[in-house]
Structure 1
Amino acid sequence: MVMLASLLAVAAAAPAATELPSPVSRAPVTTRDLVELADITAPTPSPDGRRIAYRLSQPSVDKNASHLSWFVVEVHGGGEPVVLDGGAVRPDASGVPVETTPVWDADSRGLRFLALKDGVQAIWHWRDDAPLQREIVDEADITDFGPSADGGALRYSVGATRAAIADAERSAYRDGVLVDGSLNLNQAVAGGVIEDGQRVMRRISSPWFDNRRILWDVAATEKTAVPSDPAQRPAPPPPAQDIASRAANGSLAEIVGERDKQQLRVTRADGRLLVCSASPCRSGKLRALAWRGGSDALLLFEKDRSEREIVWLWAVGASKAKRLTVTSGALRVPGQPPRCAVGAEALYCADAQPLVPPRLVRIDYSSGRTQVLAEPNRALAARIAAKAEPMAWPGGFTGYFLSPIDAKGPLPVVVQYYMCEGFLKGGSGDEIPMLPLAEHGIAVLCIDAVRAPRAAGMEGSYALALETIGSALDGLAAQGKIDPSRVGIGGLSFGSSVALWAIRKSKRFAAATIASGQISPHYYWMNALPGRGFTAVLDDVWGLGPPDTAPDRWRSVTALWDIDALDTPLLMQVPESEVQSNVELHTRLKRAGKPAEMIVFADELHIKYQPAHKRASYERNLDWYRFWLKGEEDKAPDKAGQYRRWRQYRAGQSLPVPAR
């Protein structure tokens, strides 16, 4: 175990807590508030630098849908924003909304974007002097678009036609479906995903669990369109924000190597080589770079705690770089627009901080001043009454301790282990209702995951997580901040596996929640058909072969043969696409009289994307932790049934177990 004295010293040296004053009179933050939080993506400056466009996603619990809008605002403030209908959200393979970037017209007086409306994804065009119109529509949905290399034309991609997809779906329903490696039997065969109000069929598109709409493998067709008015042709693409970027003058900037061998090199058009010696270039943590337009300078994005990024401005050849800001950063997933856009005079970021919900900010290069351009969650921000203390522990672990602003005495606490980036909303996958827990006097300890060396296997990462969680809890208990007898743990994906491992291997947890399917023999056989590549991934990451040839490995990794150790009350709220992997675990727990139950959400992917489902999951997790950590019950009449069950679990009762 990590030495307690060392842990306390490191925690004490962490940055000061983020704290928002408690308003005199306010409505508490609820689970609905978290679900309906407005999110900002894809900030994109106009070519003349006078305006910026961004996308706003607004979920609605009552409509059980999210709506997209594009906003155009002046970068120096003033005037009313232009608001454009962005259509419906399309979830990606995991359930996260697909993000797209708009394309400005060359004269900065209009822009184009992709929108899914009435079952058709097309290119829409807006101009200052004209209404929004659907400009380019194809027999197939347009999946991607952008300016040609010289900016003179629009290029776009299409796949299978909508008619062909509809025929394939009808045939699959009418004639049956061949079971092969592309069919995910964890999802409804008739279609287990909602897009623009319609259920659609998907098929597996990778060795793991990536999935795309049926006929996704039809070869894409690339097309071009040239607007007749030169002013309305697309502006040339900006320099890339990536590990390599080429400037207009031909200079190539590249991040090469990793960690202590990482370098930033600039190769001039004439072949001259410059190596950056400024501190961020030597940190080993650079994740991306981008040229500042009209200047021989680079924006550098350096990894900070919790997926945040420190942004630097470096004049090529200078010995030092100018620190501009710390942003909420992004996971930098291929195909996902960056959270910050590089302009000629300023950086524009869709930013969020632990207690500051998403907003759009402008950071001036010269003065370093931050200006808020859009604050869609301002009313919610004014109601937050909590403090978030940044924490750090030996081994490179970081996180936050979230607690009520007026907390007195040791608090019950819920641990969320995985990622703590941005606004402290719900953790990875939005499953732990952090601020509502604080409203009810329950603290949250969010810890960023660190993986064990590859040789230690996945169990090594689980064990490292449990050791760090235990040390962090011991440190907080020694400071009188938490009650070690009232600790919960929960999470999604890797975080859910850590939570299940923790309650198998430790008795310190009084309640647990998980939101994902777990590895089991059934999980293996559901996905191990030849030709898919799943078994190679499972062997590479978990060291698992077929259950009948490696029973000892399976007993170590899975909880199915360790039911006696699972006494912690366990709530599983899983998507329909993963529930079958947990059926045996749930049944074994119930037959053993353990305090466990499982809720399944229809038409859901790995991360729940339907607002009504997210609200229900948040609310039930909140009730579960209040019940087991504080003995509290919500008096709402529609919750009476759940509390009858839970009181039965607490009394040690169980349903009758069949004799055979």
Structure 2
Amino acid sequence: MNLQAITRFGCALMVCAGAPAHAKSREVAPCTLALDSPKPSTGRTVTAKDLLDLRDFGAIGLGSAPAPFSLSAKGNTAALQLRQADAANDRYCTAIVLVELDASYTPTVIDTGGEIVAASSTRYGMTDLPLGIPKPALLRWSPDGRWLAYTKTFTDHSEIWIYDRVDRRSNRVLTSAVDILEMALSDDGRRLLYSSQPGLITARSAIAAEGKDGYRYDQRFWPLSADRPMPPSNIPVVDSAWDIESGGAAALSQQDARTLHPSRIWPSGALAAAIAKEGGLVAWIVPRSDALDAVAEIRFKSHGAAESTCPFAACTAVTGLWWALDGRRLIFQRRSGPADSRTEFYSWGLGKEAPVRLLETSDALFGCASRGVDLVCAQETSSRPRTVVELDTSTGKRRDVFDPNPAFSTLRLGSIQRLTWQNAFGLTTFADLVLPPGWKPGTRLPLVVVQYESRGFLRGGTGDEYPIQAMAGQGLAVLSFNRPTWFGLTSHPRTDEEFYARNNENFADRRSNLSSLERVITQLDREGIIDPDRIAITGQSDGAVTATFALANSSLFSAAILSTCCESEPAQEASGPALDEFYVAMGYPGTRDAMPEFWRTNSIVDAPDARKVPILVQAASSEFRMGLATYRDLHRKGWPIEMYVYPDEGHVKLHPAHRSAVYNRNLAWLREHLQHQ
């Protein structure tokens, strides 16, 4: 592709969105990034700023909905929303980008992309729970490829715009006071179809009015982030249609509903489906059983024929499938290797011949869309940020389509080695060991454990708070740890209750994680790579629970950084009735007097033999109350603990200024507590 073209993506071509999350919009000066981004000096090691400045598209996680890009019906153009953090002004620059796949792969900016606003979640019977990840942009093509509809999100509303590829202009079609949840263009291209929850407005108004008489404290409360009830989770989703030509509301037909929600025509129980354009062939993925860990297999049928199941072993653990252009070959994707650490693509003719493997890789490929005989996918490697690639389904070869960060390849990275092993519970685990550039065997290094997924680009772990390559560049060894499969799945539970009970019986899942960490760290010590007296463990969300359990039950670690803190009896009180009920149902104590031995095992405050180590807590405003009791007790006991609270943040921190502060504080703290001992 033309790399010079993409290096021109400065904020001069992008909208500079105001403060993200739920802060009020503010006037800011235009973005001042240069059109031609200078390449860093060849061989310079990675800094925190290099990682913060990466241009991103799609969701934070791998394979998360919606797709990271949208491919036109004829497969000749990909559309995506690009974003880049501007920490100095605490904002994001965004752009709607088109990449012509039949030309030189040169990207073109067609419009600004709105603000980057924090998403919320719906759980425990409530909605509007602060999640923190970016709200995704929706991008949808008309069947003839002339129109591209896309959403723009702002702090107080959402908008839908349509770009006309003929006259090369964008126009705002409508404005919504609530989020646009799904969107499509009708089969004739004349109507815009979308779904939303207008009832949220009424629900929020009713809650505000109720406050005049005081709120009854009940299951609607989420006191970690609000002093009022949250809206309920059962607010209806409403489908609507908008006539593009007349600019008014239109009737919604049954076909419109199927176009807007294509999964409604999938076979019953399908996790994904592919329908051939010709020949009436349908293939789909379905679990073999109703167990939570059921293996997914391929089934297919044509016209009035009976349903068939692919009989080959390769047709299991399937995560995606597509028909080739001729409708005679099924292309599918599956997980394989130790702990499902690898991705494979296969081609199958639906006959007696076994599927042919096209590609096997530890790289992450996801969000794929069919383009004739090829697939277009988002890709991340352990050392390269997200790109768009094209996969030849005849040969398995890949070629670059779009790289938003070409300058990153000139930086000097630490070496990366994939490790696999079994823990004491017989579960396979994998991790990536990152060593400083130029490290020489025989030199023992301080080690930092980053959790809890290690697929794709090694950026900052789950939650993106621990800049892996910047830590390696600082002289630290980093273990990017992918937790073993949940122990509760080993008994093939059929319900959530069975799953949680199995996990928490004698803390089996936490002990499994700790066993995996102990074994690999012991091995790294034997090989003379790490200094066993200088090991820090970090974690966000589930990774933070693994970290605190390790501190309470092992003397292996000499320091810890937590993005979420901490499991304790007072934390359940601060979490509110709904979350407390969830934990009690999992097996946590229901009262202060019940199961005192539980907290002696699970809480660093109550553990009798917990090693007194320095702890840094970098907490979101929506979660820091969970850690207040732990902070107070450890501080009073003389532990070297400090906590920082980041305002206007959800479970994942989104503000660029906060992300920069977290990165840099973690690096400085590790330098002080792990490297200067």
TM-score w.r.t. structure 2 length?
A: 0.77
- Which 10-residue stretch deviates more, 370-379 or 164-173? 164-173
The Cα offsets for residues 433-476 of structure 1, whole Å up to 9 and x where unpaired, read as 21111011101111211222453517212212122111101111
Partner of 2:16: none
Partner of 2:659: 614
Aligned partners of 1:85, 1:406: CA distance in 2, in Å?
42
Residue 328 (structure 1) shift: 5.0
Which residues of structure 2 form unaligned runs of 5+? 1-39, 59-67, 121-130, 247-254, 489-498
Q: In the TM superposition, what are the counterparts of 1:106-255 in structure 2 within 5 Å?
A: 106-117=143-154, 119-128=156-165, 129-138=167-176, 140-148=178-186, 153-160=191-198, 177-189=215-227, 203=230, 218-228=235-245, 243-248=271-276, 249-255=280-286
- Which 10-residue stretch deviates more, 260-269 or 233-242? 233-242
Q: Secondary structure at the match of 1:254?
A: strand
Partner of 1:320: 355
Does 1:457 find its partner at 2:470?
A: no
Partner of 1:444: 478
Partner of 2:52: 35
Does 1:360 find its partner at 2:388?
A: yes
Partner of 2:90: 64
CA contact (8 A) 2:347 2:355 kept: no
The Cα offsets for residues 536-593 of structure 1, whole Å up to 9 and x where unpaired, read as 4213434432333333323332222126624111111111111111111111111111
CA contact (8 A) 2:416 2:435 kept: yes
Structure 1 residues 166 and 387, CA gap change in structure 2 (3 angstroms): same
Structure 1 residues 85 and 352, CA gap change in structure 2 (3 angstroms): same
Aligned partners of 1:515, 1:106: CA distance in 2, in Å?
45
* AA of the residue aligned to 1:485: D
The Cα offsets for residues 79-128 of structure 1, whole Å up to 9 and x where unpaired, read as 74331211112322321112244111222123001112473312110012
Residue 269 (structure 1) shift: 2.4
Residue 298 (structure 1) shift: 2.6
CA contact (8 A) 2:224 2:576 kept: no
- Which 10-residue stretch deviates more, 494-503 or 554-563? 554-563
Partner of 1:296: 328
The Cα offsets for residues 26-83 of structure 1, whole Å up to 9 and x where unpaired, read as 4432212222222222222211221111222222212212343221111144274331
Residue 598 (structure 1) shift: 1.2
Aligned partners of 1:344, 1:59: CA distance in 2, in Å?
35
* AA of the residue aligned to 1:290: W
Greater relative contact order (CA < 8 Å, ≥ 6 in sequence): 1
Does 1:412 find its partner at 2:412?
A: no
The Cα offsets for residues 493-526 of structure 1, whole Å up to 9 and x where unpaired, read as 1111111111222222121111113222222223
Structure 1 residues 251 and 339, CA gap change in structure 2 (3 angstroms): closer
Partner of 1:256: 287
Aligned partners of 1:118, 1:608: CA distance in 2, in Å?
16
Q: Secondary structure at the match of 2:173?
A: strand
Q: Secondary structure at the match of 1:296?
A: coil
Aligned partners of 2:473, 2:587: CA distance in 1, in Å?
39
Aligned partners of 1:429, 1:619: CA distance in 2, in Å?
15
* AA of the residue aligned to 1:38: R
Does 1:271 find its partner at 2:305?
A: yes
* AA of the residue aligned to 1:124: W
CA contact (8 A) 2:223 2:576 kept: no
Does 1:476 find its partner at 2:524?
A: yes
Aligned partners of 2:287, 2:235: CA distance in 1, in Å?
36
Aligned partners of 2:216, 2:90: CA distance in 1, in Å?
33
CA contact (8 A) 2:157 2:177 kept: no
Q: Secondary structure at the match of 2:112?
A: strand
Partner of 1:520: 568
Q: Secondary structure at the match of 1:609?
A: coil
Does 1:498 find its partner at 2:546?
A: yes
Query: Sequence identity, in percent?
Result: 25
Q: Secondary structure at the match of 1:560?
A: coil
Residue 620 (structure 1) shift: 1.2
- Which 10-residue stretch deviates more, 605-614 or 162-171? 162-171
* AA of the residue aligned to 2:99: V
Q: Secondary structure at the match of 2:509?
A: helix
State the number of aligned residues: 574
2:596 aligned residue (537, 540, 551): 551
Aligned partners of 1:575, 1:617: CA distance in 2, in Å?
11
Aligned partners of 1:290, 1:517: CA distance in 2, in Å?
43
Residue 353 (structure 1) shift: 0.8
- Which 10-residue stretch deviates more, 242-251 or 82-91? 242-251
Partner of 2:343: 309
Partner of 2:133: 96
CA contact (8 A) 2:117 2:155 kept: no
Structure 1 residues 601 and 106, CA gap change in structure 2 (3 angstroms): same
Aligned partners of 1:541, 1:593: CA distance in 2, in Å?
33
CA contact (8 A) 1:308 1:421 kept: no
Structure 1 residues 205 and 64, CA gap change in structure 2 (3 angstroms): farther
Residue 237 (structure 1) shift: 7.3
CA contact (8 A) 1:324 1:365 kept: no
Which residues of structure 1 form unaligned runs of 5+? 1-22, 191-201, 207-216, 331-337, 633-660
The Cα offsets for residues 162-186 of structure 1, whole Å up to 9 and x where unpaired, read as 9758856875888765543223221
2:417 aligned residue (389, 396, 415): 389
Aligned partners of 1:423, 1:475: CA distance in 2, in Å?
25
CA contact (8 A) 1:279 1:320 kept: no
When the two chains are superposed, the root-mean-square deviation of aligned CA atoms in Å is 3.1
CA contact (8 A) 1:141 1:162 kept: no
Residue 489 (structure 1) shift: 0.8
Residue 374 (structure 1) shift: 1.2
- Which 10-residue stretch deviates more, 339-348 or 393-402? 339-348
CA contact (8 A) 2:143 2:188 kept: no
Residue 387 (structure 1) shift: 1.2
- Which 10-residue stretch deviates more, 130-139 or 435-444? 130-139
Structure 1 residues 381 and 572, CA gap change in structure 2 (3 angstroms): same
* AA of the residue aligned to 1:298: L
Aligned partners of 1:298, 1:595: CA distance in 2, in Å?
58
Q: Secondary structure at the match of 2:161?
A: strand
* AA of the residue aligned to 1:573: Q
Partner of 1:19: none
TM-score w.r.t. structure 1 length?
A: 0.79
Structure 1 residues 382 and 173, CA gap change in structure 2 (3 angstroms): farther
Structure 1 residues 580 and 177, CA gap change in structure 2 (3 angstroms): same
Q: In the TM superposition, what are the counterparts of 1:479-628 in structure 2 within 5 Å?
A: 479-529=527-577, 532=578, 534-562=579-607, 565-628=610-673
Q: Secondary structure at the match of 2:240?
A: strand
Structure 1 residues 315 and 546, CA gap change in structure 2 (3 angstroms): farther
- Which 10-residue stretch deviates more, 355-364 or 515-524? 515-524
Aligned partners of 1:172, 1:293: CA distance in 2, in Å?
58
CA contact (8 A) 1:40 1:360 kept: no
CA contact (8 A) 1:572 1:598 kept: yes
Aligned partners of 2:287, 2:480: CA distance in 1, in Å?
32
